[in-house]
Structure 1
Amino acid sequence: MIQQIFNEDELPMADLEKIGLASGGHLSLETEDLQALVSGRRTNMLRLKNLSGDGLQIPELDAKLSLKPNESGNLDLLVHPIYREPQFPDFLTDTEAEELERGQAVSIWKLVKDENNQTRDILIEFDQETKEFIITDTEKILIPDLVNNEYLTPEQKERYRKGKEVEISDGTKLQFSGTERQGVRSNRLALVASIIVDGGVSYMLYQGLNALFGKKRSEKESLQSSAGYEQALRDMDANKNALAQYESNSRENLRKFSR
């Protein structure tokens, strides 16, 4: 999970229209791809059409998209095509880069110095689709407090932050992944993650999750749901209903006040 860091009204609509993903101010992105963008992640592989730049005209291109703030405070649209030869960061050794490329390592956690000589805590992964190394600032990873209604221990949270596999008592295994549109992989097709915010609970239902990296899962295992998962779904629905009622009451009170 990565928290939403951009607002939809900040999206570079003109750039999205140029590549056929928006028209008249309306997006034609899937909900999951839009959520990935505003959360600072990458979309799934998309078929882009009629790209132009630097005197070149490209009829079609398969690529992933992401957003990056520029110096003026606006968002730039980044296009990540399929690279012929991956360029690995200089803070990776040849052995580490090779392990990531070959899928022998899921991710590598490191402490590095940035341009201001400040220590950064990062996670490096390799996107097998675009053949590109992905770097995630672990401070931006939103770590769930609960999964399927079960609290994660401090040790489990630390493992999740470092890209390691976490298993809870109902047999659900999950792992953060910056290469995934939803930001997480699991041995289950679905799970409910919860974040405690200002005394309240925010729920996120993840569905259609990809398997843990390099591991196969049986159809039976992937479809299993625990009592904790079912309870988390009920709590999520109850929370939505309570929020809807609160908003309705607020609107009614506002109308009364304005009379």
Structure 2
Amino acid sequence: MKTIFEMEQLPLDQFRELGLIEGDRLLLPENHIQAMLAGRRTDFIRLEDLSFGADRIPEIDVKLSLSYVGGEASLNIHPVYKEPKMHPSLTDWAKDYLIEGEGRSMELEVESEKGKRQNRIFEYDPETNEFLSYAPSYLFAPEQINQSVLNMGQKARFRKGEWVLLDDGTSIQHRASDSKGLLSSGKQVMFSVKEDKNMVVYRIGDLKQLFGDEKESNNRGLEKEQKKSFEVSKEIDSVSIHERNRGYNQNGSR
């Protein structure tokens, strides 16, 4: 799949400062590297013997991600905060709404770094106690998941981080804070995306489970919405299957 960042863009000096470089080799599992290249966060990794000025940290568990700073890829470190880290774009009500509801997301219009108004999807990462956001316009939605071809409404819900109910009863949800970018009521899904004129199918396994009190009521609403949906036609020249535990790309998250 296409990624936001390329391997040659990785800020190796910043990884080296964290002790994650040996020679020219990045000391991270492939799934962590793919998550960062796709614009997502890694799962937790343990960093040891870090020095920041006069401060020394024997060990710390953090997530890592990449972002563009001044047109170049820069490494972000996400430790576990004792209290939720406040976000300037969120009101107290919005913060409470995201924190108190597992798997919740919220779409808000905010001002971008370039001074333009932009819609972003906000969510809360309970593992680090951080709020994060992404631009749904940059997030691609799959053509098909398992045997379900997604209609326009389902794709829109997917980009916004809302629950999507598939024909086989599986519920899925995009989550920017997850290393694979996807939660599901099933352990694995077949994720089909169009690349040029080919349909490429990825098997994404070991997915974190959807949960929460809102699931049943949300699924009832999705069933009603799907009755109003229409089919999406697609041209497929060939199909190839990649059986990898990979997530998918998500643009513009931070």
Same fold (TM over 0.5): yes
Is 1:62 matched with 2:61?
A: yes
* Larger mean Cα displacement after TM superposition, 18-27 or 129-138: 18-27
For 1:10, give the aligned amino acid.
Q
For 2:93, give the aligned amino acid.
T
1:54/1:119 CA distance change after superposition, 3 Å: same
* Distance in 2 separating the partners of 1:34 and 1:156: 29
Amino-acid identity (%):
32
Equivalent residues of 1:63, 1:81 under 8 A apart: yes
Partner of residue 52, structure 2: 53
Partner of residue 32, structure 1: 31
Q: 176, 185, 188: which is aligned to 1:187?
A: 185
* Distance in 2 separating the partners of 1:84 and 1:104: 18
Equivalent residues of 2:102, 2:211 under 8 A apart: no
Secondary structure of the equivalent of 2:208? coil
Show structure 2 runs of 5+ residues with no match. 216-238, 244-254
Partner of residue 174, structure 2: 176
Show structure 1 runs of 5+ residues with no match. 218-234, 241-259
Secondary structure of the equivalent of 1:159? helix
Following TM superposition, by how much is the alpha carbon of 1:59 offset from its aligned partner in structure 2, in angstroms? 1.4
* Distance in 2 separating the partners of 1:213 and 1:82: 22
Following TM superposition, by how much is the alpha carbon of 1:216 offset from its aligned partner in structure 2, in angstroms? 11
Deviations 1:190-212 (A, max 9, x none): 00111113211132221100011
Partner of residue 228, structure 2: none
* Larger mean Cα displacement after TM superposition, 75-84 or 98-107: 98-107
Higher relative contact order (Cα pairs below 8 Å, separated by 6+ residues): 2
Q: Would you identify which runs of 4 or more consecutive aligned residues in structure 1 move more than 4 Å?
A: none
Following TM superposition, by how much is the alpha carbon of 1:16 offset from its aligned partner in structure 2, in angstroms? 1.7
TM value normalised by structure 2: 0.79
Greater helix fraction, Structure 1 or Structure 2: 1
User: What's the Cα RMSD here?
Assistant: 2.3
Secondary structure of the equivalent of 1:203? strand
Partner of residue 108, structure 2: 110
Q: 130, 147, 166: which is aligned to 1:132?
A: 130
1:43/1:183 CA distance change after superposition, 3 Å: same
1:1-259 superposed matches below 5 A: 3-71=2-70, 73-103=71-101, 106-214=104-212, 235-237=239-241
Equivalent residues of 2:147, 2:168 under 8 A apart: no
**Greater Rg over alpha carbons, structure:** 1
Deviations 1:66-120 (A, max 9, x none): 112222x332111111112223323322122012122356111122222444221
Secondary structure of the equivalent of 1:236? strand
1:52/1:4 CA distance change after superposition, 3 Å: same
How many residue pairs match? The answer is: 220
* Distance in 2 separating the partners of 1:116 and 1:15: 26
Equivalent residues of 1:106, 1:213 under 8 A apart: no
